[in-house]
Structure 1
Amino acid sequence: MGETIWTNAKLYTGYRVIDNGRMIVSGQGTIRAIGDELLPVPAHAQVRDCGGALLLPGFIDVHVHGGDGHGMMDASPEALDGMSRFHARHGTTAFLATTSTARADRIERALRCAAERVGGTPGAELAGIHLEGPYLNEKRRGAQSKEHLRLPQPEEIDAFVEAAGGHMRLVTLAPELEGGLAAVSRLAAGGITVSAGHSDATLREIEAAVQAGLTHTTHHFNGMSPLHHREPGLAGAGLALGELTTELICDGIHVHPAVVKLLFETKGPDKVCLITDAVSPAGLPDGEYGDVVVSGGEIRLKDGSSLAGSSLTMLQALKNAMRFTGYPLEKLLPSLTSVPARQAKLDRTKGSLAPGKHADFVLLTAGLELIATYVRGAEVYRSGLPVNA
């Protein structure tokens, strides 16, 4: 495949906005050059006129369990491919397949399956793995399995990391558990980002975890000790500690729009990581699916005791964040691109549009409707909308 030059786009690189921008993509799916209308056209290059559409870095979802009836814990290539196709239809170009609390053998099976599929999915690229649980606090477990919660043990952690085949990029745990700080240190020393989630930790316990290597919080405000004026808890620690990047499910259900705005204004977009936390029934019609019920965009356990993930997509998260905060697209874009790339340690090749990086991008209309999704320069989804819609 030869070079392709994308022209006549409103181009958001992640660092600046270029009106009437051009981008040259190599035959290997990396960006060779990017700039304004004076960028020279290579001989024999295929020219793609964007018709004034918005060209953005693709969205990176570091916390996603499933979608369209498929789930990470199904532990099958077909399920991972189904997740990949579904989320590509909503602007995601890379994702971390995320586990949930279960027996050790079931988690290892899911990890090994995902490790074998990294870099090989047909839609959004499976770029790594997020281990959520089983080292969670029962008090803040939400929809996670109570039966399989346990304390972190070095031997089991090592077995999970090995099963992930070098692709473990993020781990969620409750650092206040016995052995929790040692687990944070062990994982961080191995180059894995560690996140506090499903945790009842105090501010002091989170400060100790930060010293041990904690840099992230999982679906902030959900599944954690709340902010109180005499004990800030994990919710307050995320707001107060500059070392922490905070995940956010921006669906208006998990977190009130006013609190979404508060988080962005307190932390800034460079410390907010938008996620979907989408689960298997995301994208399916209202109804019962196993032990959960989908109704009006909400996914809850049948007994109504807890939200059980979301039906959110990354593109909808962007639209919601713009509406809730009043921020322009370019200000919020890092929260869906460069921030998740940094937290997943994918930023050498993903998260912005720059020479040498993967050509992972989306084309949107001026009204933020998805036209097409591209991964490493290849079209993985097209909506049928004209570029000048």
Structure 2
Amino acid sequence: MAHERTVIRGRHYRSGQPIEVVVEDGKLKRIDEWEGAGDSLSQQPLPLIGPGLVDLQLNGYQGMDFNADSITPEVVHSVTRALWKEGVTSYYPTVITNSAAFIEQAVSAIACACEEDPLTAACIAGIHLEGPFISPEDGARGAHPKAHVTAPDWELLQRWQDAAGGRIRIVTLSPEWPEAPAFIRRCVEQGIVVSIGHTAASPEQIRAAAEAGASMSTHFGNGAHPVLPRHPNYLWEQLACNELWSCVIADGFHLPDAVLKVVLKVKEEQMLLVSDAVHLSGMPPGAYETPVGGRVVLTESGRLHLADDPRLLAGSAQMLLWSIAHMVGRGLCSLADAWEMASVRPAAKVGLQAANGLEFGAPADLLLMEWDGSKAIPVEVYKSGASMYTTKRQG
């Protein structure tokens, strides 16, 4: 990690003005107008400078899976480093519904990786436990194995939390279980963000969960029944609940643009982008065999579907930069707003210092990016002021 003075130049991601960012001891010391930008601009365009991306839900990347049968600390190190080229400076490895022993082994491996390597520890802001306290119903359960779905169990969570070294910071559950409100309150008391997802809960159960301290919705609009009552239903209730921030997968496949537009209008700064990417993200198009979905196909367009039924998605295969480009390209919001949906806003929701963005004293977790009007291209990525990824540039 960096413990010296560094000067980084580019254009502010929101204003577009040339700036000099001065970093000392891994934090932002100064952000000034760059008076000497004129000559540099005549030689080459300046990249945009903004906060590094924060992914609250990531299952794997480039063939490496946090839910594989034998996850090791080495896999965690490799994923952490591979994510830099995607602009991700903080993330939450996500462990989904499985046997109690499997979940214990997975979170233990992630904890070991953090204990072995300070850089991995700095990038992993926490573990996201997605299940097994979810709905057992088909549709709402998604691809999670029904055999391992169970009611919220505080003792079981504490067993996993001990194995994780206290790193479980997000829990996705369904509040349809009678045990849910008391469980949610205990989670919140321990500093765990409770997110509603994979649910068949009634509107009354959604409201009770929010009153108990649930404050987020996991991949809103997905992990749901294919057919719902017009009203009431658990989607309308989550949108209407002011306490719930909405995480969405904005890859262009999981949600129609109309849904993204409605969520954005209702939630405003409480709308967050997540990748929810599976291990096939970052892999070339083609047919693959997976332990959960079986035979799947990753298309040239970036869509991942079941080989036997192309109508059915087999998970997300795109990262946050893709979602930013989709939001902007479809005219749903500005580049700066989409950038913040994937960086400072999720950081704010989970209480990270990175929520301060480009402000004095904030962590120097930075993304330098070129924007060609349709695609976000990372140029350089800094973690605590140290350059972790860079492309070759002229000059």
In 1, distance between residues paired with 2:134 and 2:308?
21
In 1, distance between residues paired with 2:304 and 2:55?
19
Alignment of 1:120-159 (within 5 A): 120-121=118-119, 125-139=123-137, 140-159=140-159
Task: Report the counterpart of residue 46 of structure 1 in structure 2.
Answer: none
Shift of the 177–62 alpha-carbon distance from structure 1 to 2, 3 Å rule, reads same
The gaps in structure 2 that reach 5 residues or longer are 37-42
In 2, distance between residues paired with 1:4 and 1:90?
22
Task: Report the counterpart of residue 316 of structure 2 in structure 1.
Answer: 310
Task: Report the counterpart of residue 358 of structure 2 in structure 1.
Answer: 353
Task: Please tell me the residue identity of whatever aligns with 1:127.
Answer: A
Corresponding residue SS for 1:224:
coil
Quick one: which of 372, 380, 385 aligns to 2:380?
A: 372
In 1, distance between residues paired with 2:326 and 2:381?
20
Task: Report the counterpart of residue 229 of structure 1 in structure 2.
Answer: 230
Alignment of 1:155-174 (within 5 A): 155-174=155-174
Structure 1 length as normaliser, TM-score? 0.88
Identity %: 30
In 1, distance between residues paired with 2:368 and 2:146?
42
Shift of the 157–110 alpha-carbon distance from structure 1 to 2, 3 Å rule, reads same
Task: Report the counterpart of residue 44 of structure 1 in structure 2.
Answer: none
* 1:21 pairs with 2:26: no
In 1, distance between residues paired with 2:334 and 2:387?
27
In 1, distance between residues paired with 2:178 and 2:228?
23
Task: Please tell me the residue identity of whatever aligns with 2:62.
Answer: D
Q: Deviations over 1:317-337 (max 9, x none)?
A: 100011234421122222111
In 2, distance between residues paired with 1:21 and 1:50?
15
In 2, distance between residues paired with 1:177 and 1:306?
28
| 8 Å CA contact retained: 2:297, 2:307 | no
In 1, distance between residues paired with 2:236 and 2:361?
39
Corresponding residue SS for 2:86:
coil
In 2, distance between residues paired with 1:273 and 1:294?
27
- The Cα shift of 1:89 comes to 1.4
Task: Please tell me the residue identity of whatever aligns with 1:357.
Answer: A
Task: Report the counterpart of residue 100 of structure 1 in structure 2.
Answer: 96
In 2, distance between residues paired with 1:248 and 1:292?
25
Structure 2 length as normaliser, TM-score? 0.87
Task: Report the counterpart of residue 200 of structure 2 in structure 1.
Answer: 200
- The Cα shift of 1:38 comes to 6.4
In 1, distance between residues paired with 2:356 and 2:97?
29
| 8 Å CA contact retained: 1:253, 1:298 | yes
Quick one: which of 33, 47, 54 aligns to 1:36?
A: 33
In 2, distance between residues paired with 1:50 and 1:25?
23
Task: Please tell me the residue identity of whatever aligns with 1:264.
Answer: L
Alignment of 1:223-262 (within 5 A): 223-224=223-224, 228-231=229-232, 233-262=233-262
Task: Please tell me the residue identity of whatever aligns with 1:279.
Answer: V
| 8 Å CA contact retained: 1:340, 1:351 | no
In 2, distance between residues paired with 1:303 and 1:136?
26
In 2, distance between residues paired with 1:374 and 1:90?
12
The gaps in structure 1 that reach 5 residues or longer are 40-48
| 8 Å CA contact retained: 2:66, 2:106 | yes
* 1:320 pairs with 2:326: yes
In 1, distance between residues paired with 2:207 and 2:131?
21
In 2, distance between residues paired with 1:58 and 1:267?
22
- The Cα shift of 1:369 comes to 1.6
- The Cα shift of 1:256 comes to 1.0
Corresponding residue SS for 2:339:
helix
In 2, distance between residues paired with 1:380 and 1:50?
22
| 8 Å CA contact retained: 1:112, 1:163 | yes
- The Cα shift of 1:151 comes to 1.1
Quick one: which of 45, 57, 62 aligns to 2:51?
A: 57
- The Cα shift of 1:212 comes to 0.3
Task: Please tell me the residue identity of whatever aligns with 1:113.
Answer: A
In 1, distance between residues paired with 2:164 and 2:170?
11
Deviates more, 1:209-218 or 1:177-186: 177-186
